[in-house]
């Protein structure tokens, strides 16, 4: 690849002005009842001390997906299996430091993955209905992430990433209700999940709450089969 810049004493010189590129990551978690988002406290200006999405500047030797993954690991020590790109935000005044275009991703992680505060900044979960004031246009990015998540929930096996390997049907249902913001009938919900083939029953759990719950697991084989039939499989 040709070099498209001239290295000077103070930096890098380009013929035309360029926007900077960042990535930001909306990390969803589930506490059994509410959908949560992971935010980091900014340690530097601008917006020092306020909460923001984990993210940062694109390096020259990485793709945007790699950048999102790297920044996420640096700031929260999380390494999700999968991240989904869902939008680009490029308003002229979205960053007071200058012209910054951000590529936004979302990911889903199990809340059992504890956040290691390995750098100075704090990282905390917030229920999505009760977010603190956010830096930049990050509220808008979260709103878009929420729409993308609702869109994708039925067509990609992403919900299961928020739960333990084994989960009860009420847990799964509460998750769907938290994401989609509506209520389902228990019996119909279970019937549909079973009919789609995306979950398989395992065994009864020891009781932790009230009555013992039957446990299920996500069925990746069935999902793979559904993807291979170009006849778009059932939704789940």
Nearer to DNA, 87 or 127 (CB): 127
For residue 180, CA distances in Å to 40, 69, 153 come to 25, 26, 9
With CB cut-offs between 5 and 8 Å by kind, which of its own copies, DNA, none does residue 188 bind? DNA
Tokens of 92: 């002229």
How many residues belong to the site for its own copies (CB under 8 A)?
A: 44
Residue with tokens 């993807």: 227
Number of other CB atoms surrounding residue 73 within 10 Å: 14
Q: Closer to DNA at the Cβ: 77 or 156?
A: 156
- If the CB atoms of residues 207 and 230 are measured against its own copies, the closer one turns out to be 230
Would you count residue 193 as binding its own copies (CB under 8 A)?
Answer: no
Selected binder of DNA within 69, 168, 175, 219 (CB under 7 A): 168
Residue 130 interacts with, from DNA, its own copies, none (CB under 5-8 Å by kind): none
Comparing CB distances to its own copies, the nearer of 17 and 209 is: 17
CB 193 within 8 A of CB 173: no
* Contact criterion met (CB below 8 Å) for 33 and 178: yes
Residues in the chain: 236
Distance CA 226, CA 214 (A): 25
Among DNA, its own copies, none, partner that 98 touches (CB below 5 to 8 angstroms by kind): its own copies
Pattern 171-190, DNA, x by CB under 7 A: --------------xxxx-x
Which part of the chain contacts DNA (CB under 7 A), choosing from 5-13, 17-25, 137-145, 205-213? 205-213
Contact assessment for residue 81 and residue 72, using Cβ atoms and an 8 Å cutoff? no
C-alpha span between 106 and 108 (Å, rounded): 7
Distances (CA, A) of 67 to 14, 44, 102, 146, 201: 22, 20, 11, 21, 38
Q: Is 45 in the site for its own copies (CB under 8 A)?
A: no
Please report how close the Cβ of residue 198 comes to DNA at its closest, in angstroms.
Answer: 12
CA distances from 48 to 1, 41, 226 (A): 38, 8, 47
Taking CB under 8 A as the criterion, which residues in 153-192 touch its own copies?
181-182
Which of its own copies, DNA, none lies near 212, with the C-beta cut-off 5 to 8 A by kind? DNA
Q: Which H or E run contains 51? A: strand 51-52
Within residues 72-131, the interface with its own copies by CB under 8 A covers 85, 87-88, 90-93, 96-99, 101, 103
Question: Could you say which of 57, 118, 195, 204 contacts its own copies (CB under 8 A)?
Answer: 57
Chain residues in the site for DNA (CB under 7 A)? 168-170, 185-188, 190-192, 195, 207, 209-214, 234-235
């Amino acid at each position: 690849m040709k070099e498209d810049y001239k290295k000077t004493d103070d930096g890098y010189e380009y013929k035309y002005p360029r926007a900077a590129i960042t990535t930001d990551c909306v990390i969803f978690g589930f506490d059994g009842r509410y959908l949560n988002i992971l935010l980091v406290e900014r340690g530097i200006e601008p917006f020092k001390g306020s909460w923001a999405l984990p993210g940062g500047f694109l390096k020259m030797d990485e793709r945007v997906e790699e950048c999102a993954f790297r920044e996420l690991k640096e700031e929260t020590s999380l390494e999700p299996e999968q991240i989904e790109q869902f939008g680009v935000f490029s308003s002229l005044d979205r960053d007071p430091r200058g012209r910054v275009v951000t590529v936004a991703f979302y990911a889903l992680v199990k809340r059992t993955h504890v956040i290691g505060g390995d750098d100075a900044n704090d990282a905390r979960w917030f229920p999505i209905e009760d977010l603190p004031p956010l830096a930049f246009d990050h509220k808008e990015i979260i709103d878009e992430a929420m729409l993308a998540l609702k869109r994708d929930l039925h067509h990609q096996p992403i919900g299961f990433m928020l739960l333990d390997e084994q989960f009860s049907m009420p847990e799964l249902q509460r998750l769907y209700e938290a994401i989609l913001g509506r209520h389902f009938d228990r019996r119909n919900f279970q019937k549909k999940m079973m009919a789609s083939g995306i979950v398989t029953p395992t065994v009864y759990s020891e009781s932790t709450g009230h009555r013992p719950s039957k446990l299920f697991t996500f069925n990746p084989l069935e999902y793979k089969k559904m993807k291979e039939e170009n006849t778009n499989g059932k939704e789940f």
